[in-house]
Amino acid sequence: MAEIDQKYNKNPAGWNISVGRDKKGYGNIHITNPVDVWQIKIDSLYKPNPYGLGMKLGKTENFPDLINLKNNPSFGFRPLLPSHLEKLQQNFDQQQPINSVIDEILNTKPVSLDQLGKSNFLMGPILRSSFQGYVSDKQKELDRKLGRSLDNLLLSKGIGYDYI
């Protein structure tokens, strides 16, 4: 995670995060920047503090089917300006949809966490992914190892079952 944090802060442009489930029900989080792909396998998408393990999978060009980027803004942290907050409040008060305000915010350039300081921000988008394939036998084996390691971690915490 430290590598992802450092690389995002150095260049926050072109990042994407997708979330899906594997066949066993574990959450798969795929994080990409213009160069690299990481996978984090977690025990639950719904727990506030899930258990998980992750690793770098390789280069982005080797995973063309991982994230469908058509018409989707990239992931990032975007400052919420006072004008954004005012528009959001107006829409809430008038019981109007906030889609246009969110679109306006998502069309701004993502910034590093250092640039945000203590300002309000919008984080996202995080895309839902149905990707369950593998681009290679090596990636399939890495995914299997992550799943097995997560099984062992959960078992060591007393919250998993080791199936034989």
Tokens of 138: 């090596």
Q: How many CB atoms lie within 10 A of CB 153?
A: 15
| Packing angle of the helix pair 82-93, 99-106 (nearest 10 deg) | 160
Predicted confidence pLDDT, tens digits, the chain (164 residues): 889 999 999 999 999 998 988 888 888 888 999 999 998 889 888 888 888 888 898 888 887 766 656 678 899 999 999 999 999 999 999 999 999 999 999 999 999 999 998 889 999 998 887 766 665 676 677 777 777 888 788 777 777 654 44
Decide: residue 147, CB within 10 A, 0-12 exposed, 13-18 middle, 19+ buried. middle
What is the pLDDT at residue 131? 62
pLDDT for residue 164: 41
Q: Which two tokens stand for residue 94?
A: 């008038």
Asked whether 67 and 129 are in contact (CB, 8 A), the reply is yes
Place of tokens 């109007």: 96
Predicted confidence at residue 53, as pLDDT, reads: 87
According to the model, what pLDDT value does residue 70 have? 63
For 65-97, the pLDDT digits (tens) are 666 566 788 999 999 999 999 999 999 999 999
Q: Where are the domains of the chain?
A: 1-75+125-164, 77-121
Side-chain half-sphere exposure of 127, counting CA atoms within 13 A: 21
